[in-house]
């Protein structure tokens, strides 16, 4: 299982790097062409915008995986371990619920904009919304796995979680 997760993590990081390099290269090439040759690639800005949306959403997936999103842990870090798990479960259940609402909204936006495409590239605007759907599904899976591992198996504890020895708490 660990090997599969490492491979998936490598693929995700590789895709982000590829998108970022492509985006920077397109924008840089277009700037050089404009200033040096007084011309440019008409579709490069639009494609860079699509790539930027994808890199942002995939970056959110990485932040979820690494537990890097902002959070206020003042309350949860000061209660006993048993209540930490309950609060963690509630908070992550709310996150999954909001991500589910986000996916529903994205599907509705895809339906509304199904006939709209980029003027220069002809790429459907649905590609923007597809990035959010892919990222949300991945974040739901990651959040669910992290919650199950901490709450039920006492593994993969968040940084704010005090050990049972620190809390003087028994399971």
Please give the model's pTM, rounded to 2 decimal places: 0.86
**DSSP assignment of 141-168, as one string?**
HHHHHHHHHHHHH--S--TTPPPHHHHT
pLDDT digits (tens, 9 = 90+) for 122-148: 899 888 899 999 999 999 999 999 999
**Contact of 168 with 79, CB cutoff 8 Å:** no
Of the pLDDT bands very low, low, confident and very high (cuts 50, 70, 90), residue 79 is: confident
HSE-up (13 A, CA, CB side) for residue 7: 4
Least confident of 12-26, 97-111, 113-127, 140-154: 113-127
Of the pLDDT bands very low, low, confident and very high (cuts 50, 70, 90), residue 70 is: confident
Of the pLDDT bands very low, low, confident and very high (cuts 50, 70, 90), residue 164 is: low
> What integer pLDDT is reported at residue 15 of this predicted model?
95
> What integer pLDDT is reported at residue 169 of this predicted model?
47
> What integer pLDDT is reported at residue 170 of this predicted model?
45
pLDDT digits (tens, 9 = 90+) for 1-10: 678 888 988 9
Nearest 5°: phi and psi at 117? -140, 165
Q: Residue 105 contacts by C-beta under 8 Å, 6 or more apart in sequence?
A: none
Q: Residue 120 contacts by C-beta under 8 Å, 6 or more apart in sequence?
A: 42, 43, 45, 46
Residue (of 134, 129, 144, 54) closest to 97 by Cα position? 144
What's the alpha-carbon Rg for the chain, to the nearest Å? Answer: 21
pLDDT at residue 63 greater than cutoff 70:
yes
Choose the most confident range, by mean pLDDT, from 63-72, 117-126, 133-142: 133-142
The residue ranges of every structural domain in the chain are 2-167
Share of the chain above pLDDT 70, in %: 94
Please give the C-alpha separations between residue 55 and each of 1, 24, 44, 120, 133, in angstroms, as whole numbers. 26, 12, 16, 21, 13
């Amino acid at each position: 299982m660990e090997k599969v997760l490492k491979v998936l993590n490598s693929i995700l990081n590789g895709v982000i790097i590829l998108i970022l390099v492509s985006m920077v290269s397109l924008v840089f090439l277009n700037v050089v062409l404009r200033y040096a040759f007084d011309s440019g690639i008409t579709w490069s800005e639009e494609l860079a915008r699509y790539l930027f949306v994808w890199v942002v959403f995939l970056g959110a997936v990485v932040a979820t995986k690494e537990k890097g999103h902002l959070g206020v842990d003042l309350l949860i870090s000061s209660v006993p371990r048993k209540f930490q798990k309950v609060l963690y479960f509630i908070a992550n259940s709310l996150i999954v619920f909001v991500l589910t609402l986000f996916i529903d909204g994205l599907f509705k936006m895809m339906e509304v904009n199904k006939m709209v495409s980029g003027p220069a590239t002809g790429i459907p605007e649905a590609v923007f919304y597809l990035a959010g759907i892919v990222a949300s599904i991945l974040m739901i899976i990651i959040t669910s796995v992290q919650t199950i591992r901490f709450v039920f198996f006492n593994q993969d504890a968040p940084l704010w979680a005090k050990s049972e020895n620190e809390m003087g708490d028994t399971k």
